[in-house]
Amino acid sequence: MKMNKKLAVQMYTLRDFTKTAKEFADTLKKVADMGYPAVQLSAVGCMSGDAPEVSAAEAKAMLDDNGLKCIATHRSWDSLLNKLDEEIAFHKTLDCDFAAIGGIPAEPYGRTLEGYRQWVADTRPIIAKLKKSGIRFGHHNHSHEFFRPDGGKLTLEDILIDEGGADLMMELDLYWIAHAGVNPERILERCKNRVPVIHLKDKEMMVGSNDSRIAAIGEGGMDWPHIIPACEKAGVRWYTIEQDTCARDPFDCLRSSYEYLTGF
């Protein structure tokens, strides 16, 4: 399958342009016009809150109008834990088969090996029920999961990868892995067949300092000619472009990322 058929936009990148129904519709059209076939719904303001302006059904209609597919979401852990039937209905309406959380809550789990083991245990009934409905569940990392909380051999991510089980998907964010000083290719190898959706962003070093910033794909120092083949070997289906921050217009960044990645 050609790379352009595997690219998606993480809507968190465009969160400032989805606060109203009109903004959301206009933004989806811009994404589709760039050539992207899919999106991940996250931080869409008009779909948030107790009385959202745009329902899941209305969002599905907007996506259909633009020929876009919702390939993943980011949902709150609290909602998945306490309102799972509603979450299943939400994903079924969107025809979306992948739900993820953006990170493990500090409360009550903390950043300890024991806390992450408890979270893994708490996910098991959720994963089982989602799986019966044809929905996979995943965890999105940042950099802190790759540190050793007690100075020992294990990282927090080791708990998720090695003890989470085959049904816990790893929504790997390759930028944050590199940010932690870890080789993304090695993590992809360990997560083979558990990475249907991953996040891409580039890592650009700031001139005259040791700091880095998030950049459009191909505009930083990430080794994409080696990383992309490693992704393919690991079984990645969707490459989701996410820029937490953009040094210029985010639509222009997404366009640049699309043009670079379609070269693979």
In this predicted structure, the answer to whether residue 38 has a pLDDT above a threshold of 70 is: yes
Residues 80-115 pLDDT 10s: 999 999 999 999 999 999 999 999 999 999 999 999
pLDDT digits (tens, 9 = 90+) for 135-180: 999 999 999 999 999 888 999 999 999 999 999 999 999 999 999 9
Q: Which amino acid does the sequence have at 80?
A: L
Percent of the chain clearing pLDDT 70 (strictly above): 98
Q: Which two tokens stand for residue 21?
A: 């129904």
Nearest to 244 by CA among 190, 187, 203: 203
262, 3 contact by CB (below 8 A): yes
Answer yes or no: are the C-beta atoms of 108 and 81 closer than 8 Å: no
Q: What are the backbone dihedrals phi and psi of residue 79, each rounded to the nearest 5 degrees, phi first?
A: -70, -40
Do 63 and 40 meet the contact criterion of CB atoms below 8 Å apart? no
Q: Region 47-68: what's the mean pLDDT? A: 97
Task: Output the pLDDT for position 206.
Answer: 65
What is the average per-residue pLDDT within 208-225? 89
Top-level CATH class of 3-261?
alpha beta
Q: What percent of the chain has pLDDT over 90?
A: 94
Three-state SS string over 99-132 comes to EEECCCCHHHHCCCHHHHHHHHHHHHHHHHHHHH
* Per-residue confidence (pLDDT) for residue 212, from 0 to 100: 80
CA atoms within 13 A on the CB side of 33: 8
* DSSP helix/strand/coil, 75: coil
Report residue 197 CA to chain centroid gap.
7
Q: In the chain, what are the domain boundaries?
A: 3-261
Residue 151 confidence (pLDDT): 84
Judged against a pLDDT cut of 80, whether residue 207 lies above it is answered with no
The confidence score (pLDDT) of residue 203 equals 94
As to burial, measured by CB atoms within 10 angstroms (0-12 exposed, 13-18 middle, 19+ buried), residue 231 is buried
Q: Up-side HSE of residue 89: CA atoms within 13 Å toward CB? A: 7
Q: What does the pLDDT read at residue 222? A: 96
